[in-house]
């Protein structure tokens, strides 16, 4: 069942190409706006690069979340998911996983290019990718709670940001922290372990919150 | 005892009992605030290092404590409302949110007033300040989500889910910003066996905390009464009550 839903979601996301192309383009454009706004030298750029890339990835992931449950809500598929003799939390997890496989991974793959553009040392590009790999999945899981809560509202856009951004802070701190440490030539494994721990926590708790939120929205 | 408990959960009886309690709680809070402020501002000795300006802690620390306490109350009563479907629990949860947000704002504002002479800056990106700021954002999120829905039942349940998710996140946020950056002075009161604070300062501080706690309860009952009147406006006892006014 999990695999069926996962495949369905993957196919849907792939067919609605704008859903993952737009956040990716947003990510690249926002990152490239910062050097234009700050006109920094290569040293300053290296200092602020981890923060810029991480904040942009966070906003891009937020942007992509709005559509996570919207179309299923509109065509009634979400109600059918609730009626399935299968835990709603698992359905939610399958949807988030499929969504992340397309949006989160594409951010992750694009990130080294942006790292190079922002003058990050080549050693820390690996850490950047790894931190985004672990971090964006947590972001998707946490953000899905907000998306599920606001799916019944016509205008979720700004509200979902208000709900979710404070909850994103730990992931941002450890993600940008890991890249920052590695950019200074230090060992970033501690921060990466924290990211992994946050991911596991989100993976265990968030599906239940998503399920509760979907049920509230469908009442 | 359960019978009494059930009666308290009915809006009508709650309305009556709360109306009886509010004047008592309110005047007790006022007395304690006057006593605490007098002891804090006139009796307590000036700090050997911070001089007179430390006295803002008599407002700052209680409001910071209350900001966390109110969030916990909001999340727990939201959970009670979700699980046992008690309407009154949702009323408590929703009515707590603006009060908690105000306490959080008060803690931030007084902290920034104190920070200017002490640290030389209105705001620093210190761990405690940041987690307090994020707490304010969480409160604002709950309030905004509640008001975004037309249907009240959906609104209160959605706000309760968000409050619970936030409550799980608060310790994580707190510790992550703690490790990220810290400048704020360590706690001086929580070391209960030997607090590193003079008794003349500790007593007004505790008085003020008690006063804030009782003030919160009075305010919560006050808001909850209005919310109940608003929600039950079509029921007969409200019409009768309005006529007697």
- SS3 for chain B, per residue? CHHHHHHHHCHHHHHHHHHHHHHHHHHHHHHHHHHHHHHHHHHCCCECCCECHHHHHHHHHHHHHHHHHHHHHHHHHHHHHHHHCCHHHHHHHHHHHHHHHHHHHHHHHHHHHHHHHHHCCCCCCCHHHHHHHHHHHHHHHHHHHHHHCCCHHHHHHHHHHHHHHHHHHHHHHHHHHHHHCCCCCCCCCCCCCCCCCCHHHHHHHHHHHHHHHHHHHHHHHHHHHHHHHHHCCCCHHHHHHHHHC
On whether the CB atoms of residues B52 and B96 are closer than 8 A, the answer is: no
- Domain assignment of residue B41, yes or no: yes
Mean pLDDT of B12-40: 91
Backbone phi, then psi, for B176, in 5-degree steps? -65, -40
Q: How far is B2 from chain A (nearest CA, A)?
A: 29
B177 in a domain, yes or no? yes
> Given CA atoms B21, B24, B30, B31 in this order, what sign does their dihedral have?
negative
What would the two tokens of residue A198 be? 């946050």
Convert the pLDDT of each residue in A144-156 to its tens digit.
999 999 988 876 6
Q: What is the pLDDT of residue B114?
A: 86
Predicted pLDDT of residue B190:
56
Among A145, A159, A219, the residue with its CB nearest the CB of B148 is: A159
Mean pLDDT, to the nearest integer, of B133-159? 92
Residue B191 lies in a domain: no
Q: Which of A28-32, A45-49, B8-12 has the lowest mean pLDDT?
A: B8-12
How high does pLDDT run on average in chain B?
86
Structural domain span for residue B58: 21-183+196-244
If we measure between CA atoms, which residue out of A57, A186, A174 comes closest to residue A124?
A186
Of A153, A174, A194, the CB nearest to B149: A153
Query: What's the rounded Cα separation, in Å, for the pair B215 and B206?
Result: 14
Determine contact, residues B8/B229, Cβ cutoff 8 Å.
Answer: no
Number of residues written out for chain B: 245
Contact yes or no for A70/A52 (Cβ under 8 A):
no
First to last CA, chain B: 32
Residues of B with CB under 8 A from a CB of A: 82, 134, 137-138, 140-141, 144-145, 148-149, 151, 153-154, 157-158, 161-162, 164-166, 168-169, 172-173, 176-177, 179-180
CA distance A129 to A127: 5
Biggest alpha carbon–alpha carbon distance for chain A: 59
* pLDDT attached to residue B104: 95
| A139-144 average pLDDT score | 95
Buried residues in A97-107 as b, exposed as e (16+ CB within 10 A): bbbbbbbbebb
A27 close to A63: Cβ distance less than 8 angstroms:
no
pLDDT tens digits, one per residue of A173-209: 899 989 988 988 888 888 899 999 999 999 999 999 9
Check pLDDT > 70 for residue B181: no
Are B158 and A145 within 8 A, CB to CB?
no
Residues in chain A closer than 8 A to B145 (CB atoms): 149-150, 159, 163
The count of CB pairs under 8 A between chains A and B is 73
Measuring CA to CA, which residue among B124, B31, B32, B110 is closest to residue B64? B110
Instruction: Give the pLDDT of residue B243.
Output: 86
pLDDT, tens digit (0-9, with 9 covering 90-100), for B115-131: 888 777 788 777 778 88
pLDDT at B28: 95
Query: A198 touching B, CB under 8 A?
Result: yes
pLDDT of res. B184 = 58
Band (pLDDT 50/70/90 cuts) for residue B141 is: very high
The answer to whether the CB of B125 falls within 8 A of the CB of B178 is no
Query: Domains in chain B: how many in total?
Result: 1
Does residue B169 lie in a domain region?
yes
Instruction: Report the range of poorest mean pLDDT among A3-12, A46-55, B1-10, B211-220.
Output: B1-10
Determine the average pLDDT of the residues in A115-123: 88
Please report the pLDDT score of residue A134 as a whole number. 94
- Write down the residue that tokens 């009154």 correspond to: B88
Range of weakest confidence among A210-219, B4-13, B200-209: B4-13
Tokens 């803690």, located at residue: B107
Helical (H) or strand (E) element with A6: helix A2-15
- Contacts of residue A183, defined as CB under 8 A and 6 or more positions apart, other chains included, come to A46, A47, A49, A50, A120, A121, A124
Q: What is the mean pLDDT of residues A162-173?
A: 91
Average pLDDT of the residues in A41-68 = 88
Residue with more model confidence, B229 or B51: B229
ipTM of the complex as predicted: 0.88
> Looking at residue B187, what is its pLDDT?
60
**pLDDT tier at B194, thresholds 50, 70, 90:** low
Q: Is residue B120 situated within a structural domain? A: yes
Q: Which of A18-22, B1-5, B179-183 has the highest mean pLDDT?
A: A18-22
């Amino acid at each position: 069942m999990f695999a069926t839903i996962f495949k369905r979601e993957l196919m849907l996301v792939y067919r609605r190409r704008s859903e993952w192309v737009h956040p990716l383009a947003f990510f690249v454009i926002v990152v490239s706006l910062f050097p234009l706004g700050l006109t920094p030298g290569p040293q300053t750029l290296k200092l602020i690069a981890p923060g810029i890339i991480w904040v942009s990835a966070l906003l891009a992931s937020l942007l992509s979340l709005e559509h996570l449950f919207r179309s299923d809500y509109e065509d009634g598929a979400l109600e059918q998911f609730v009626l399935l003799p299968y835990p709603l939390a698992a359905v939610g997890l399958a949807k988030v996983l499929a969504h992340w496989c397309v949006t989160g991974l594409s951010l992750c793959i694009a990130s080294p290019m942006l790292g190079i553009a922002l003058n990050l040392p080549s050693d820390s590009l690996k850490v950047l990718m790894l931190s985004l790999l672990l971090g964006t999945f947590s972001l998707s899981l946490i953000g899905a709670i907000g998306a599920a809560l606001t799916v019944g509202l016509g205008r979720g856009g700004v509200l979902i940001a208000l709900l979710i951004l404070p909850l994103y802070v730990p992931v941002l701190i450890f993600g940008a922290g890991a890249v920052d440490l590695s950019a200074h030539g230090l060992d970033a494994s501690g921060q990466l372990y924290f990211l992994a721990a946050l991911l596991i926590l989100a993976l265990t708790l968030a599906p239940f919150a998503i399920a509760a939120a979907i049920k509230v929205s469908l009442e | 005892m359960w019978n009494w408990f059930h009666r308290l959960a009915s809006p009508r009886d709650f309305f009556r009992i709360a109306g009886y309690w509010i004047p008592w709680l309110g005047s007790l809070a006022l007395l304690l605030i006057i006593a605490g402020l007098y002891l804090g501002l006139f009796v307590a000795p000036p700090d050997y290092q911070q001089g007179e300006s430390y006295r803002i802690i008599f407002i700052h620390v209680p409001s910071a404590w209350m900001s966390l306490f109110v969030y916990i109350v909001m999340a727990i009563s939201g959970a009670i409302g979700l699980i046992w479907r008690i309407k009154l629990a949702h009323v408590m949860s929703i009515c707590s949110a603006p009060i908690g947000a105000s306490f959080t704002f008060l803690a931030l504002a007084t902290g920034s007033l104190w920070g200017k002479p002490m640290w030389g800056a209105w705001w620093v990106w210190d761990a405690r300040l940041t987690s307090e700021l994020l707490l304010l954002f969480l409160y604002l999120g709950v309030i905004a989500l509640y008001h975004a829905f037309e249907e009240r039942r959906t609104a209160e349940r959605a706000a309760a889910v968000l409050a619970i998710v936030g409550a799980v996140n608060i310790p994580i946020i707190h510790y992550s910003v703690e490790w990220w950056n810290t400048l704020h002075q360590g706690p001086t009161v929580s070391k209960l066996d030997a607090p590193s604070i003079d008794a003349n300062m500790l007593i007004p501080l505790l008085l003020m905390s008690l006063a804030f706690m009782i003030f919160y309860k009075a305010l919560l009952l006050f808001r909850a009464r209005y919310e109940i009147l608003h929600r039950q406006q079509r029921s007969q006892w409200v019409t009768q009550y309005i006529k007697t006014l």
